[in-house]
Amino acid sequence: MPEDYDGWAAAGCRGWSYAEVLPAFRRLETDERFGHQPYHGDAGPIPIYRAPVSKWGAVDQALAEAALDAGYPWAPDHNAPGTTGVSPYAINNRDGARVTTNDGYLEPSRGRNNLAIFGDSDVDRVLFDGDRAVGVRVYRAGGWQEIRGGEIILAAGAVHSPTILLRSGVGPAPHLAELDIPLKAALPVGESFQDHPAIFLPVRLEPFAQPERAFRHTNLCVRYSSGLAGAGPNDMMMVAMNRFGDSLGHHVAGPADAPVFGLLGVWVNECVSRGTVRLASVDPFAQPVLEQNMLDAASDVERMRDGLRRLLALGRHSSVNAIGQVQVKLAPDASDDEIDAFALRNAGDTQHATSTCRMGDPADPTTVVDPDCRVLGLQGLRVIDASVMPSVVRANTHLTTVMIAEHMAERMGFGPE
């Protein structure tokens, strides 16, 4: 959504408007269908694929038919500016396999003589000489090592980049004091966590509608503007899931006669609620504590309530009833309070964690890194990953995360060769 990046720029992230980041989006992708369009790329390392309707699953097709009948428009490219409605999911996929940043960027570079890759390594903290970052403390090959560098860039993601900073003494002073970590820089690290809160309703599938194991879990999304609580365009999204669990554990075989479920989901695409990431201890191998704090803001609650009502209505459509039955303990005339209580019990994340090392105007008290992704108050240290997003975008976050890396590579003088 162009509005996301223009919002970043308006909030103090100079150089991050849609017009300014579009070249990075174009560099990173090869869009197999729309690469000729001025808002797409046709020669980048990440392939963009959309499954044709003939290859969709039963839940994909059922939700699409229900949504189109309800008046949601058809949009063949959900990454085209100004679009909304029912769309085939654009995915980074080639020949049925996901193309990761390792596949697209790292593998072709492994032969470079200026690149060293250390696998099976865990970063504890950043090393400093005064206020300048000079390296990282790493556990590898059975022991602790110090690896030095002229500039240190953390790219450990929205959960672990902040935890590395916290162990390094960069974060909220009260939290660091609780763990007796000497304060290097008082910054709101881990303070602005965001993810899209989602609710999925199981659909018990008829035998003919059950896909084979490892079938693509989703090929369809339905974006719409709720018009509620001052939200912007496409603030909400619905999705189809053809088989529950396959995306995480299709290798685990269940009983042959076990029911097979698909899912219908709705999530708050433009969310307001924010959570935190905190250290559980100073142990670098201990997982941090995430308080996602979803559906905390009244705006998110109101729009999720409306989204659930919309999803329940689509779940009663004949196209859905033809493939199975939605399993939900909510009456069609459920009250607002009943809907809200159901949402609070059942909302989960969408694996779109962002914003824990928030980028912004250095004068803004919520800022951790400046528009060049430099950690405030320190030298030689940057964070470049999903954690720097000022707010989670109205989209799945992979493409934006890769764009951030491409855009920063150019800003740092390492543009396309």
CA 191 to chain centre: 17
pLDDT of 329: 85
pLDDT of 248: 40
pLDDT of 332: 83
Asked if 92 and 99 touch (Cβ cutoff 8 Å), the reply is: yes
pLDDT of 201: 94
pLDDT of 215: 87
pLDDT of 244: 78
List the chain residues with pLDDT less than 70.
245-258, 415-417
Please give the helix or strand (H or E) that residue 195 lies within, else none.
none
How far apart, in whole angstroms, are the C-alpha atoms of residue 409 and residue 111?
20
Residue 356: name the closest of 269, 280, 267, 279 by CA: 279
pLDDT of 54: 94
Asked if 288 and 159 touch (Cβ cutoff 8 Å), the reply is: yes
How far apart, in whole angstroms, are the C-alpha atoms of residue 281 and residue 276?
15
> pTM score, two decimals?
0.95
The residue type found at 34 is F
Whole-angstrom CA distances from 131 to 79, 208, 238, 382 are 42, 64, 46, 13
- Cβ burial of 54 (10 Å; 0-12, 13-18, 19+) is exposed
CA 398 to chain centre: 6
- Residue whose structure tokens are 């999903």: 386
Helices 18-28 and 2-10 cross at an angle (nearest 10°) of 130
pLDDT digit string (tens) for 16-68?
Answer: 999 999 999 999 999 999 999 999 999 999 999 999 999 999 999 999 999 99
The catalytic residue positions are 352
How far apart, in whole angstroms, are the C-alpha atoms of residue 264 and residue 304?
14
H-type helices in 217-285, by residue range? 246-249
pLDDT of 416: 61
How far apart, in whole angstroms, are the C-alpha atoms of residue 86 and residue 78?
8
Give the tokens for residue 155.
């790219």
- Burial letters for 306-334: b for 16+ Cβ neighbours within 10 Å, e otherwise? bbbebbbebbebebbeebbebebebeeeb
Give the tokens for residue 381.
């240290």
